[in-house]
Amino acid sequence: MKWSKSKIFKVMALFAASALALSLTACGGGGDTANSGSGSGGGTIAVDAKGESHAFWQSVKAGAEAAGKKYGYNITFRGPASESAKDLPSQKEMVQTALSNKVDGLVLGTIGEGFVDLLSQAYDSKIPVVQFDSGVWENDIKALDSANKNPIVSSVATSNEKAAALNAEKFFEVLKSDIASADKYVVGVIQHDETQTGIDRAKGFIDKFKELADADPSTAGKYVIEKEVKPGDADNAYKAALEALYEKGAKAIFMTNEGIVKQVYDAIAASGTKYDGIKFSGYDAGTKQIEWMKATSGPKLVGSVAQDSYEIGYQAVEQAVFAIEGKEVTEKVDISGAWWDATNVDEMVEKNLVYQG
């Protein structure tokens, strides 16, 4: 079970009393360096993300650090080298390090299962946890709930379904007249993997697109949706998905993440005019996606829906601060996606909604 608001107040009151007792006997300092942040908070919040070097995570980091600065907490930001299973032990080690350093709060998005023991430690140590981005895997949460040792007080993430639904709304507006004039219009979806994120994005797009197209007499019954699901971008899997949809006659394709956009863009650049008859829409951001958005020739990237990565980092740390200080915590914070296209791309970059890299 998640901590109730009253329990958070009690825990933090005890923590404050203990901290006061220690301060009276510490003769002016020399305590654990993990709790030496500056400002009114004066503690440390560890942010253990699914990555660190990618531009998305750098934007998350910037938001996290901005919130830390506002509330007076030191922020440590770490992530594994990749989001693949081979780096799962590395991420677990990072979480263990944070717990061993007795951080005041933990912000966590995991790349796999197996964090039950570590999060049980956080619960026992009265360290509130905010899960963010794709968060902690469902099986781990179920195990923590069953043991009554779930330290997660808040979840902060983009709603993948809602963001993809926004993409469908904007894309349908562009495609509507083409569908209306066709006997059979094929809309393709390239789903980047079989994780919940990939499933939710494809579902959000498909459900909303069907809802809109079926409700419009000019498009109802004149389209079909074809989906290609790939386990990852190794061995040019997304290029293969593009080719498969091309063979099925797709005239429009929705791509569920930045990795697909990059690989598809490269495939298009190497294929002359082969794919010029297809309109595309994307997800996330990145330099190549921005470049494609601004292109004036070739297949059109109509637009994309971006996660507000900066706000994800900011809100996650803010909820951790509220939990630490016994303030009201929002159990579920949905970060809205934002549609961007050639008309507003520069503005979106300036607002940290669209990242480069």
**CA distances from residue 313 to 119, 152, 173, 207, 286 in whole angstroms, order as listed:** 20, 16, 32, 29, 18
Which pLDDT does position 37 carry in this prediction?
A: 37
- pLDDT < 70 regions, the chain: 1-41
Residue intervals of the chain classified under CATH 3.40.50.2300 are 5-150+309-336, 160-306
For 5-150+309-336, give the CATH class. alpha beta
For 160-306, give the CATH class. alpha beta
Residue 26 has a CB neighbour count (10 Å cut-off) of: 10
Which pLDDT does position 337 carry in this prediction?
A: 86
Positive or negative, the CA dihedral 295, 296, 301, 307 is: positive
pTM of the model: 0.70
CA distance 152 to 47: 14
CA distance 179 to 189: 16
Which pLDDT does position 341 carry in this prediction?
A: 96
Which pLDDT does position 41 carry in this prediction?
A: 66
Which pLDDT does position 243 carry in this prediction?
A: 97
